[in-house]
């Protein structure tokens, strides 16, 4: 039998994982308040899947939990969510971190007693009153920051793939997280700051702002020793903008809804790296201040 899967953070990504994985494994969805016990997932082709799930809070979860814990909160809630549960978890519980950015990945890999895998995904999902819409299929990559636990990564990637999320275990998740972070940093804060869709970055007055950001990002990545994508940074950023032209980035949605943004997880590591290497990063700093 497949190991129990505990999903902490019953938002868009957590609900998507919960419904999909519940076809293959015992799944518990855990929130600050008890999440719904019945969820409807609307697939990208419009097909609707209904699932009953076990719903818990940190207080109600039976201890000790043994299995895999998928942490699907926003980056700024991840550490507190895990701290609130830690007493209930067997010390060898495997964590999968789904957060965008590159912050909690480093600290939890260092501090957690069991295996920690990081995931980066381009799946798209959003919450509805009674469930979740899986807006578009993407690719998910999974691995340990320093290449450990390869067998576990293979097993979990196979499980996620069987559940319908294309997932591959990789030995270079560190580089992949940096790459996603850099591309996100060139797009998300700008569209959030100016309240525009991604595609509008192709036009004046935004195009030169993207170019200036790429210039800063290239220097930071070089100094940090992160190899550029095969196609080069400029081509990568513009390709993503083209491919997501109609999107409202999650950071823009957060700003529009008056929620905190993931700026610390996305811009924070770049500004830290710039400082460490004595580089100026005026565009990145200004955006950090502007998006709140
Ligand atoms: N959605 C996507 O398509 C997508 C795609 C790629 C990557 N990501 C990344 O995945 C992460 C999650 O994104 P999301 O869109 O799913 O966010 P979301 O919809 O805001 O969901 C986050 C969930 O975490 C819950 N939470 C916060 N603190 C908690 C705690 N202490 N214990 C349990 N649950 C807690 C929140 O509940 P409350 O209602 O109590 O706040 C909320 O339900 C982000 O880092 C995001 O960048 C998302």
What's the Cα-to-Cα distance from 94 to each of 4, 91, 186, 290, rounded to whole Å?
Answer: 11, 9, 32, 37
Residue from 6, 7, 12 whose mutation best tests the ligand 1 pocket (most atoms within 8 A of CB): 12
Contacts of 76 (CB under 8 A, 6+ apart): 260, 262, 264, 265
Burial class (CB in 10 A: 0-12, 13-18, 19+), 253: middle
Handedness of CA 213, 215, 107, 177 (dihedral sign): positive
- pLDDT given at position 73: 98
Q: Where are the alpha helices (DSSP H) in 117-172?
A: 150-162
Average per-residue pLDDT for the chain? 96
Provide CATH 1.10.1040.10 ranges for the chain: 175-291
Residue 248 beta carbon below 6 angstroms from any ligand 1 atom: no
Mean pLDDT of 149-172: 98
220-236 pLDDT, tens digit each: 999 999 999 999 999 99
pLDDT digits (tens, 9 = 90+) for 5-44: 999 999 999 999 999 999 999 999 999 999 999 999 999 9
Please say if the pLDDT value at position 1 is more than 70: no
Render pLDDT for 84-116 as a digit per residue (tens, 0 to 9).
999 999 999 999 999 999 999 999 999 999 999
- Pair type for strands 167-169 and 140-143: parallel
pLDDT at 131 over 80: yes
pLDDT at 227: 96
Domain 5-171, CATH class in plain words: alpha beta
Q: What confidence score (pLDDT) does residue 292 get?
A: 80
pLDDT at 217: 98
Q: Which atom of ligand 1 is nearest to the CA of 30?
A: 33
Buried-exposed string 162-179: b where 16+ CB fall within 10 A, e elsewhere: ebbbebebbeebbebbbb
pLDDT category of residue 241 using cuts at 50, 70 and 90: very high
CATH class of 175-291: mainly alpha
Q: Strand, helix or coil at 38?
A: strand
- Is the predicted pLDDT of residue 60 greater than 70, yes or no? yes
Atom in ligand 1 nearest the alpha carbon of residue 10? 43
Banded model confidence at residue 270, pLDDT cuts 50, 70, 90: very high
- Nearest of 14, 73, 19 to residue 47 by alpha carbon: 19
For range 151-162, the mean pLDDT: 98
Domain with CATH 3.40.50.720 in the chain: 5-171
Give Cα 227 to chain centroid, integer Å: 21
Sheet containing strand 48-52, strands side by side: 48-52, 38-42, 131-136, 124-128
């Amino acid at each position: 039998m497949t190991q129990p899967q505990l999903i902490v953070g019953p938002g868009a990504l957590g609900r998507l994982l919960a419904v999909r994985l519940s076809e293959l494994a015992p799944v518990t969805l855990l929130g600050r308040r008890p999440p719904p016990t019945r969820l409807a997932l609307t697939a990208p082709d419009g097909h609707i899947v209904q699932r009953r799930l076990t719903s818990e809070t940190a207080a109600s979860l039976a201890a000790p939990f043994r299995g895999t814990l998928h942490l699907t909160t926003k980056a700024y809630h991840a550490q507190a969510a895990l701290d609130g549960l830690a007493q209930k978890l067997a010390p060898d519980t495997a964590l999968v971190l789904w957060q965008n950015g590159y912050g909690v990945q480093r600290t939890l890999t260092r501090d957690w007693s069991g295996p920690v895998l990081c995931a980066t995904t381009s799946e798209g999902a959003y919450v509805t009153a009674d469930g979740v819409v899986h807006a578009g299929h993407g690719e998910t990559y999974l691995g340990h920051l320093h290449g450990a636990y390869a067998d576990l990564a293979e097993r979990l990637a196979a499980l996620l793939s069987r559940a319908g999320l294309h997932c591959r275990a990789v030995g270079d998740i560190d580089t992949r997280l940096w790459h996603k972070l850099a591309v996100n940093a060139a797009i998300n804060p700008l569209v959030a700051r100016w309240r525009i869709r991604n595609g509008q970055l192709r036009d004046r007055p935004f195009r030169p702002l993207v170019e200036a950001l790429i210039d800063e990002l290239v220097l930071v990545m070089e100094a940090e020793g992160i190899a550029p994508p095969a196609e080069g940074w400029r081509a990568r950023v513009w390709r993503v903008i083209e491919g997501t032209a109609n999107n409202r980035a999650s950071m823009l949605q957060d700003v529009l809804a008056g929620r905190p943004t993931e700026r610390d997880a996305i811009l924070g590591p770049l500004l830290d790296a710039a400082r460490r290497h004595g580089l100026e990063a005026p565009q990145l700093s200004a955006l950090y201040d502007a998006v709140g």
